Chain A
């Protein structure tokens, strides 16, 4: 079956540090890939997405590139802020007939940024 594996956390950084959160996936066919962010007490918000190989998703300074050869979708940001502290989820949706409405999530990575 389809699965997503994220790097183990939590991740603790100082403000303005470089961020990488690794994400790899297992899926048949050509899934779409997503990064979602969850702030305390809230639901999930879409951060960025990529729908085909070599696509780069970007938003709010975050970037991730869909690498089919390494089945990866690593999240990066050049300079994190305290306000980026949240839980980050990598996810895939598979355009298959039995996959309506289904996102498969990684386990989530807690990011804490200190001033």
Chain B
């Protein structure tokens, strides 16, 4: 069964810490995405990557960066965590043909910044 695996289900971090959220997919997909999910706001795109070492900003990139050194792994980095980054973070992947193939999502990482 194809999978997108997020390394942590729950994380609690302190304000100002550097936080790494890891995502790994085993489907050989070219595209990978990071979304955050907040009640009443749905999913908002933070960053996406369409190839190794390639990335593009999504709708809300401020305060975040990403890294994609290998095709299967896409990391989201909070350079200095703040309380307004408390949220559910969802990773997804899709084949290179585009969004019409649909995404495969991970189970999410619920991050709390205190």
Co-assembled chains A and B: no
Question: B-side interface residues toward A, CB under 8 Å?
Answer: none
Question: A-side interface residues toward B, CB under 8 Å?
Answer: none
